[in-house]
Every structure is written in structure tokens, then in C-alpha cells.
Amino acid sequence: MNMENTIGSALRRIRKNRGESIVEVAKATHTSPASFTKWENEQNIPSERSVRKLAEYYDMEPQELLALAYPDKYAPKTAPEENVAADAIRVEDIIAPGTELSYNGKLVSEADKHLFAAFISGILLAKTE
């Protein structure tokens, strides 16, 4: 993990930029200095409630800090890669339920569609390993 993009490094950077001590921030946010030190040193992750209190104290959007502390839950979803052609067909859409496939003018059965999906998925997964 890039240490510049962690909750601990962000908390330390913000606190130092404001010229505050750990004790000052901890007192203002009703947190123990020991807990705050552990957060800055990446030994613990603050609770969502604590992150929201810190964001309020720092007068910033909670989402910014929550995304660092809980990226799976709060990080913005990344946009699809920009190097994909505008007329590209997503494999996910081809094998999605409800999509009808045809070959040589005939509809492909659901069973064959599942085989096709498994085959394509296998190829793509094998390439990423």
C-alpha cells in the first residue's frame, strides 16, 4: 500500500500542516492520544464515527478520509479504462443473463451460452495470472 494514500499518513499530514500536536487533536475530538498515535502509525484504523469526527474537526468532507480508512466501502469507483474503443463490446454484457447470442443466424442455447461464458472467463483469468 502506498503510504501517502493511507488514513494514518493523511491524519499526520493534516495535523502537522495545522501545526497541532497529537494531544491537541485528540482532546478536541474526544479521542485518546494513544489511539490517535496508533492511527497515525497504521497500527489501528479509526472507527467510521471517529473518522467523521476528525473530518468535522478538520472542516473537510468525511468522504475524503473515509475512502482512505475504508476503501472497499467509500472509495470512488474507478472509471473504465480510457483506452477502450468507443464501439467495444464488453464481455460482461455478452455473457450477461438476458443477452441473446446468435451464431450463423441461429440463436445460441442457454446451455451453450454458459459454456461460452465459462470458456471466455477461463481464458481471461488465465491471462491475468
Domain ranges of the chain: 3-74, 91-128
pLDDT of residue 81: 57
Asked: is 3-74 a CATH 1.10.260.40 domain? The reply is yes
Q: Which pLDDT belongs to residue 102?
A: 84
pTM for the predicted model, two decimal places: 0.57
As a whole number of angstroms, the distance between CA 57 and CA 35 comes to: 16
Identify the DSSP state of 30.
T
> In the prediction, which pLDDT does 3 show?
45
φ and ψ of 58, to 5 deg: -85, 0
- Per residue in 100-111, pLDDT (tens digit) is 888 888 988 878
Of the CA atoms within 13 Å of residue 19, those in its CB half-sphere come to 0
**30 band by pLDDT with thresholds 50, 70 and 90:** very high
Average pLDDT over residues 81-100: 70
